[in-house]
Amino acid sequence: MNPTAERFIKTFIPYRKMHLKQTLERNLFGNEPIWIRKGYLTEYLIHKALLDHVTLAYFKTTWTDSFGLDIDVHEWNGLPLLAPILQKTVDEAVKRIGKPPSIAVESPHGIHLYYFFERKTSQKRLYDTVEKLLKGISVEVLPTPTKALRIPGEYKYLDPVTFTSIDSPSEFKRYPATILLTKEPVKTRSWKQTFQVMSKEAEHFPLRNGCSNRAVVECGISYKLAGMSLDTAAERFHNLVLKSREYIGELRNSKRIHTRFKSIYEHRAHYLPRARVSQIDLMEAIFIQKLIETSPFAKQREPYLWHFLIELFVWNKYIINLKAEYVPLPKTLLHRWNERHWGIVKWLKDIGFIEAFTSDTSKKGSYSKTLHSCKYYKIHLELF
């Protein structure tokens, strides 16, 4: 790969599957420049554009760490010193953003200013914020996924403070995203919403190949109902996907998750089938929390423990209502709650939370392979 093209790709992160090329079209008034949509943006084309051998424009991805400002004043004659009207627009834009640009580049009719950040964020959220800040100024926020911006020539870079000509910079300033994007207000969620989210996650994770669509839809709706923002929900789901070692599907790409969740947040009805978790009360929820704090399992298994224990409590209440002394726990039911249920059951037995019923086949309700009866347990809520 050409070093200059490689540096441009790493810095500006262009969308590679499409670009624009400027050509001259002959008409009654002479040759007029027009932009034509082209295909894949190769390293060779980028290198030619950087050397000003061809004029190309690139698009931006939906997940980005930068934005550009296209400031054009068609009266500007291209002299090294900026025209007064252009200088005034640039000063006002920089003043409203509050920081000097990371990179500045001379353009045929003005200047392009680029701001780079320490982490990636949603392109739409970032650009919407910048457009509100610069409302009333003759500035375009480019490039976007639908609007392109000219690839800067290697010899047209300007100092981002004095706007005098410099060589192509090897280093530039990156800002924390918080200079523009304030932290989202913390929304208080009810314990029911929190448990519903955790229950849904425990139901679908670790994610398996061929089973991802239901997980996206149900988790996405539960995140939406819990009041999570789109970006927070997408990041939470992506972290869970990365922990699913066997899963190799498209959801390992965070952009794909963001796109799927965006569709759910904008179009999906505010409905989720009622889960059993809604049947536990606050005291039971506190009890489960204290129980999990004593578990020997890794932190990442907590959502699965929540799901298992919630289902166990609901099942226990149902059996008690039938006036039964012991709780039957069929293997098929335990497997539905958690595929690795044997480790959880052993832990609960070791701490005395559940007590296995005697295996004496002469007693009613005892475990018997020949009679296909399941194991019975007594749950000691009073000990905790």
DSSP string for residues in 361-374: TTSTT--BTTTTB-
Strands 376-379 and 56-60: unpaired
In tens, the pLDDT along 84-132 reads 778 888 999 999 999 999 999 998 888 999 999 988 888 888 888 999 9
Mean per-residue pLDDT over the chain, rounded? 82
- How far apart are alpha carbons 326 and 378 in whole angstroms? 5
In sequence order, what E strands does 174-260 have?
Answer: 174-175
* CA-based nearest residue to 69, from 106, 113, 123, 133: 113
Predicted confidence at residue 42, as pLDDT, reads: 94
Residues with Cβ < 8 Å from 97, sequence gap 6 or more? 115, 130, 133, 134, 179, 180
Give me the residue spans of the domains in the chain. 3-179, 191-267, 281-383
What is the edge-to-edge ordering of all strands in the sheet holding 376-379?
327-328, 376-379, 354-356
- Find the length of the chain: 384
CA distance readout (Å), 328 to 172, 274, 354, 366: 66, 24, 12, 10
More confident: 69 or 186: 69
* CA-based nearest residue to 222, from 236, 243, 242: 236
* CA-based nearest residue to 65, from 180, 233, 171: 180
Residue 16 above 70 pLDDT?
Answer: yes
- How far apart are alpha carbons 337 and 335 in whole angstroms? 5
Residue 323 amino acid letter: K
pTM more than 0.85: no
Predicted confidence at residue 99, as pLDDT, reads: 92
Residue 116 amino acid letter: F
Residue 143 amino acid letter: P
Q: What are phi and psi of 254, to 5 degrees?
A: -60, -30
Mean pLDDT of 251-265: 89
CA distance readout (Å), 52 to 42, 77, 178, 326: 16, 19, 35, 81
Predicted confidence at residue 235, as pLDDT, reads: 85
- Selecting from 3.40.1580, 1.10.10, 1.25.40, 3.90.920, what CATH number does the domain 3-179 have? 3.90.920
> Per mean pLDDT, which range of 73-77, 276-280, 329-333 is the poorest?
276-280
Q: What are phi and psi of 199, to 5 degrees?
A: -65, -40
Strands 174-175 and 110-122: parallel
- How far apart are alpha carbons 90 and 69 in whole angstroms? 9
The band of 276, judged by pLDDT with boundaries at 50, 70 and 90, is very low
What kind and span of H or E run contains 112? strand 110-122
Predicted confidence at residue 59, as pLDDT, reads: 93
